[in-house]
Amino acid sequence: MSASRPTWVFGYGSLMWNPGFETPETRPARLSGWHRAFCIYSEHYRGTPEKPGLILGLLPGGSCRGFAHRLPEEAYDAVRRYLIHREIDHDGVYEETVRTIHLDDGRAVPALVYLADRRHRQFAGKLPLEAAARLVRGGSGVTGSNLAYVQNTVAHLAQLGLRDPALEALAQAAGAAGA
């Protein structure tokens, strides 16, 4: 399969547990050269322009474990349109690219990957823990609370047998302070 029509999409946040389409195969996967970070202000899905949340993006360096979903051949064009609408159309804060990912069964496959656009006005960069926790606690948008998004991400990483200390610290700080 050519990189112009990749058959996989890499999920490192909500795409891990909620791809939004029927996938014929889901596998644990790793993307090298990029790491998961809460670095994007959310003004739609997990926040509003008046009270933004904080969502994940991929930043250069390290590696990232997540889930890869194989795109269904019979609905490929519809799923691609859906992914563009979901990841790009609302805020334009992600850039779609194709990168090689490594599936847990040893295959290396080209996949759609959504990277944080560091030039976008919603790019937050790395925030201090308390500032990030405050955004997560207060954020809520059309797909629900920002805290639930953080908690779901931690839970799905646990399904992979992975721990992300920075993400767990954010979940703890946002949840504990709100209790």
How far is the CA of 172 from the CAs of 8, 124, 127, 136, 164, in angstroms? 32, 20, 16, 11, 12
Torsions phi, psi for 27 (to 5 deg): -135, 145
Query: DSSP for 8-54?
Result: EEEESSHHHH--SS--S-EEEEEEEEEEEEEEEEESSSS--SSS-EE
Residue 33 near residue 60, CB atoms below 8 Å: yes
Residue 87: active-site member: yes
Q: Which of 22, 73, 87, 96 is catalytic?
A: 87
User: Would you please indicate which residues are annotated as catalytic (active-site) residues?
Assistant: 87
